[in-house]
Structure 1
Amino acid sequence: MKKIRQFANKKVLVLGLARSGEAAARLLAELGAIVTVNDGKPFDENPAAQTLLEEGIKVICGSHPLELLDENFELMVKNPGIRYDNPMVVRALDKNMPVITEVELAYLVSEAPIIGITGSNGKTTTTTMIADVLNKGGVNGLLSGNIGFPASEVVRTAEENDTLVMELSSFQLMGTKAFHPHIAVITNLLPTHIDYHGSFADYAAAKWRIQKQMGPSDFLVLNFNQELAKEFAQKTQASVVPFSTKEKVDGAYLEEGMLCFRGEAVMPADAVGVPGEHNIENALAAIAAAKLSGIDDKAIQESLSSFHGVKHRLQFLGDVNGVKFYNDSKSTNILATQKALSGFDNAKVILIAGGLDRGNEFDELVPDITGLKKMIILGESAPRLKRAATKAGVSWLDAKDVKEAADLAFAAAQPDDLILLSPANASWDMYKNFEVRGDEFISAYTALKEKAHD
């Protein structure tokens, strides 16, 4: 870690805790900043704040008092989930105070080069694939960022021979200024998080910030299955390396069942360890990043063929009496569920779906669920999903929660069938987050497996 001096003896406000805020506060303190943490959760219910206070960092909890910003802070490090119309952020910007996110802070002190990955879908899988391939190829790839390992925590022990493989959300990228990855990947750009950004154009602009500081010696990996990516490719100073499943490009592509890179066949597409066309796209993006990092084909083949998914993202759990279980709790929108279904024979699939009702119908999902063996439907959006199931001619059952859904699905399944939790909805009507929802599915699978072995 670079021992930079630009924060020494400067007053910095960390707004919002969670793991990233906690990590940012510690890093800033190590760099000599005078740190104050402000978090909305009451102090007596806030173990992170209690620990930071014990470490000598000032904490103000339970509310966000605007008068706090009268203390002449020189910088705000904002939790990425806090919107820019939050009164504290508005006040900071009105005072011309720089507002960044902790990935910017991590970049400023990083000795290690950065591979940054963003996009609407596939970020976590692609990030994990890239780190796995690097590690298989002898490069120490360190997972960081939005994947659950705060960048400002990982960077403290990263060395120049390591590579930070950093998943980046649009929220994190909005708070970057100098951030400069050597390789950047945009998996795809689709309308999502519009409630935060206000428009798709603003959302795409936030994602596009990943390449703002990149130049000709840097590599920008773009999905040429999307016309938007081809348009964006004309607007960057970075060297564009495309990937595509639809055409031969000057990068990574699918040709006659092989995954190729610039004229060289790297591995068979059907050897990738996770199903679905979207995972072929993810694998191509990972191959591009790996080849640009000097990783050989053998390491790429071994890594991607043994890759069986990321927890809650089309994660293969195993089988019970010949019935396979897949946990895709991270599928919180229609497109993600469409992509999950693309990897399977619908006649053998029992789909568990439903969750937070955002007011949208599911007509665009009808072609993808047509031919399913059955659906198990739950959550606030159940009436809308039932309408889609009826249009698709698919029978369905109600479930009160994921455990009951898994039990009902297993009771309806036969050997060679598969049970897929891919909700096409956020979890917040019933569960704190998609991880809790997915963990309940894993627990239900484990219980069914244990019962089958009794």
Structure 2
Amino acid sequence: MKKINLYEGKRVLVLGLAKSGTATAELLHKLGAKVIVNDRSPLEGNEQAEYLLSKGIEVVCGGHPTSIFDQNVDVVFKNPGIPYHNPLVQLATEKGVPVLTEVELAYQISDAPIIGITGSNGKTTTTTLIDKMLAADSKSPLIAGNIGNVSVEVAQEAGEDNVMVTELSSFQLMGTESFRPKISVFLNLFEAHLDYHGTVEDYGIAKAQIFKNQTSDDYAVINADDAQVVKLAEGINSTIIPFSVSKIVDGAYLDNGFVYFKEEKVLSIEQIVLPGKHNLENILAAVAAVKLLEVSNEAITEVLTSFSGVKHRLQFIGEHNGRRFYNDSKATNILATQKALSAFENNIVLLAGGLDRGNEFDDLLPYLKNVKLLVTFGETAEKLIRTANEAGIKQIKHVDNVEKAVPVAYEMSDSGDVILLSPACASWDQYKTFEQRGDIFIDAVHKLK
């Protein structure tokens, strides 16, 4: 870990706890900052706040009082999920105080080069593939970021011989100033998180922060099939390495049934066990990233012939009385559900619903032709029911939650059906995370057995 003095003696506000806020506050305290932590949850029963208090860190709980700014605040580190219309964030912006996320701090202290992966869909799968490929070639990767391992914790352990493989959301990237990955990966851009960003344009600009500080010594792995990504990469300083499932490019591509990187045959597509056509994009992106670090084709092949997917992303749970159950709880937007539905040919029982972000589901219509039953829940249930009626789905059932959806789906399905949880919505109306939603689905499936 680099010893930095950027925050020594500075008054730093850490806004929002959870794992990242707690780790950020503790690290800043070690770096000599005068830390004040603000969390909207009450102090009573707030274990993380109580822990930080025990370390001598000032904690304000139970709301977001603007009186925190009665004393000078030099920097704000906010939880990525906290919106910019939060009163303290607005006040910081008005006063010209930098508003950062822990990814910025992780970069500042990391001795290891960073591979940063962003995009609307496929981040977790691509991040996991890169991590596994590097590990198979003894490159000592450390996985971090939005995938579950807090970046500032990982960065403290990272040495020059490691590689930090970091999944990055638009929320995290918005809060960066100097962040500079050695290799950036931009998978795709689709309409998502408009409740946070407002427009697709602003969402794309936030994602493109991943390129901002790169130089000609760095690389940008981009999806040559996504016009919006290509446009956002125009004029960047890093060396562009494209990937494409539809054409031959000067990077990673498909040709005559094989995966190639710069005219080098890597492996046959038939050897790949990861399901779904959409995963070929993730695979090509991962191949491009690791080949830049001279990972062998043998290591890549070892991973792609054994890795069948990550938890909550088209995860096969098992079969019961002829029904196959798949957990795709990480499908928090329409595009992800489109891709999940495309992975199966017919007889799909779809479990969908969740947080209402103001969008309709018309873009799902072409993908519902093989859905025989919709079981829906959450805030968006009525919108999904309207879309299902328009698609001509004969069987539609509205239930309270995922746990109740599973036995209903089972009872109304037949042997040979696929029962797929792919919500097309965020989880926050009923669940803390998509992981919690997926785990509840898994438990409900096991109860059937």
TM over 0.5, yes or no?
A: yes
Give the Cα separation in 2 of the matches to 1:426 and 1:10: 37
2:97 is the alignment partner of 1:101:
no
Q: Give how far 1:365 is off.
A: 1.3
Do the aligned partners of 1:356 and 1:381 also contact (CA within 8 Å) in 2?
yes
Show the counterpart of 2:259.
259
Matched, 1:354 2:361: no
Q: 1:425 to 1:99 in 2, by over 3 A?
A: closer
CA, structure 1 residues 412+259, in 2 after alignment: closer, same or farther (shift >3 Å)? farther
Between 1:364-373 and 1:423-432, the stretch displaced more is 423-432
| Gap runs ≥5 in structure 1 | none
Residue 323 of structure 1: aligned partner: 323
**Contact 1:116–1:166 under 8 Å retained in 2:** yes
Question: What is the aligned partner in structure 2 of residue 22 from structure 1?
Answer: 22
Aligned to 2:311: 311
Report the Cα offset of residue 310 of structure 1.
1.8
Give the distance between the partners of 1:409 and 1:349, measured in 2 at CA.
10
Residue 371 (str. 1) matches residue 373 (str. 2): no
Q: Distance in 1 between matches of 2:226 and 2:177?
A: 27
Quote the Cα distance in structure 2 between the aligned partners of 1:443 and 1:316. Answer: 13
CA drift of 1:408 comes to: 2.8
Partner of 1:92: 92
1:385 equivalent in alignment to 2:388? no
Q: Is the 8 A contact 1:38 1:61 kept in 2?
A: yes
- AA matched with 2:447: A
User: Which stretch of the first structure deviates more once superposed, 177-186 or 6-15?
Assistant: 6-15
Q: Which residue of 1 aligns with 2:34?
A: 34
Q: Deviations over 1:180-226 (max 9, x none)?
A: 10000011111211222222111111111111111111110101111
Residues 281, 230 of structure 1: alpha-carbon distance in 2 compared, 3 angstrom cutoff: same
Q: Give the whole-Å Cα distance in 1 for the aligned partners of 2:447 and 2:303.
A: 31
Q: Structure 2: how far apart are the matches of 1:41 and 1:234?
A: 43
* Distance in 1 between residues matched to 2:401 and 2:84, nearest whole Å: 35
Question: In structure 1, what residue type is equivalent to 2:278?
Answer: H
Tell me if the contact between 1:371 and 1:394 (Cα under 8 Å) persists in the aligned partners: no
Q: What is the Cα deviation at residue 414 of structure 1?
A: 4.3
Match of 1:286 in 2: 286
Runs of 5+ consecutive residues of structure 2 not aligned to the other structure? none
Deviations 1:18-73 (A, max 9, x none): 11111111111121222111111111131101001112212111122212113223
**Contact preservation (8 Å) 2:225, 2:244:** yes
Would you say the 8 A contact 1:371–1:393 is kept in 2?
A: no
Once the two structures are TM-superposed, the CA of residue 227 in structure 1 deviates from its matched residue by: 1.4
Checking the alignment, whether the CA contact within 8 Å between 2:139 and 2:162 is kept in structure 1 is yes
DSSP-derived class of the 1:84 partner:
coil
For the Cα contact (< 8 Å) 1:260–1:267, is it kept in 2?
Answer: yes
Amino acid at match of 1:215: T
Cα deviation for residue 415 of structure 1 reads 4.4
Q: Which residue identity does 2:232 align to in structure 1?
A: F
Partner Cα distance (1:408, 1:353) in 2: 13
Match of 1:275 in 2: 275
The answer on whether the counterparts of 1:136 and 1:300 sit within 8 Å (CA) in structure 2 is yes
**Other-structure match for 1:161:** 161
SS in 2 for 1:190: coil
Instruction: Tell me the CA shift for residue 81 of structure 1.
Output: 1.7
Change (3 A) 1:303 1:13: same
Is the contact between residue 29 and residue 35 of structure 1 (CA under 8 Å) also seen in structure 2?
Answer: yes
Letter of the aligned partner of 1:432 in structure 2? K
Answering whether residue 184 of structure 2 is matched by residue 195 of structure 1, we say no
CA contact (8 A) 1:259 1:267 kept: yes
Kindly indicate whether the alpha-carbon contact (under 8 Å) linking 1:121 and 1:187 is maintained by their aligned counterparts in 2: yes
Further displaced range: 83-92 or 43-52:
83-92
The answer to which of 228-237 and 183-192 deviates more is: 228-237
Change (3 A) 1:176 1:429: closer
Moved more, 248-257 or 387-396: 387-396
1:376-434 residue CA offsets vs partner (Å, 9 max, x unmatched): 23333333323322333322241333233222333344444321111112233433332
Shift of 1:302: 1.3
Distance 1:260 1:114 in 2: 24
Superposed CA offset, 1:310-365 (max 9, x none): 221211222224432110111122111101111111x2322212233444432321
Partner AA of 1:370 in structure 2: K
Query: How far is the alpha carbon of 1:438 from its aligned partner?
Result: 1.1
Percent identity of the aligned residues?
Answer: 51
SS of residue matched to 1:93 = helix
Aligned CA-pair RMSD: 1.8
Distance in 2, Cα, partners of 1:63 & 1:218:
42
In structure 2, what residue type is equivalent to 1:353?
A: A
Change (3 A) 1:8 1:356: closer
| Cα distance between partner residues in 1 of 2:215 and 2:443 | 48
Taking the aligned partners of 2:355 and 2:63, their CA distance within structure 1 comes to: 28
**Counterpart residue type for residue 374 of structure 1:** L
